[in-house]
Structure 1
Amino acid sequence: MPSNRAETTDDNRRLATAIGLYVLGEETLGGAAEHADISKQRMKMILSDRGVEIRLGPRDTTDAKSELETLENL
């Protein structure tokens, strides 16, 4: 059974990775939140607290098409 310290370390690692992916543009806000296992609202607050600009909407037409395909497959 993992200790609370190990769980906290894993949580911090997931959050740091999610933030990095978001900053690099490799992950959306929702994707980063999912990666960190937190709500989108919480991720938004964390990013804002760290001075990271929140991106709104798809980055380009490829992302927009991908989002539409995802919605169509729901």
Structure 2
Amino acid sequence: MATDRRRDAVKDKEQLATTIGLYVLGEISLGKAAERTGVTRWEMEEILQEAGVELRLGPQSIEDLVDEVDVALDRD
């Protein structure tokens, strides 16, 4: 269960809903979803699990891999 701090960390609920939708559709990676919502990757993983979303762990494409590396290196 997400802590109250984690729920409060995501201020823009519409942005969170959009991000979850993009993740479900496979448009963005877990790392990119975390970046978009301003939480850690582990917090985003927990948020998605609580929302009943099946996690896709590991990059699904070369583009996903590049996104994950960019997020890890804090590059835009």
Normalising by structure 2, we get a TM-score of: 0.65
Provide the rounded CA distance (Å) in 2 between the counterparts of 1:69 and 1:30: 9
Q: 1:42 to 1:62 in 2, by over 3 A?
A: closer
Paired residues for 1:26-65 under 5 Å: 26-61=27-62, 63-64=64-65
Higher relative contact order (CA 8 A, sep 6+): 2
What is the root-mean-square deviation in Å for CA atoms of aligned residues?
A: 2.7
Q: Which has the higher Rg, Structure 1 or Structure 2?
A: 1
Q: Which residue of 2 aligns with 1:23?
A: 24
Give the number of aligned pairs. Answer: 64
Q: CA 1:68/1:15 → structure 2, altered by over 3 Å: closer, same or farther?
A: closer
Which runs of no fewer than 5 residues in structure 2 stay unpaired?
1-7
Structure 1 portions without partners, runs of 5+: 1-7
- Per residue, is there more helix in 1 or in 2? 1
Pick which of 61-70 and 16-25 moved more: 61-70
Percent of matched pairs sharing the same residue = 45
Measured after TM superposition, the shift of residue 17 of structure 1 is 1.1
So what's the TM-score if we normalise by structure 1?
Answer: 0.66
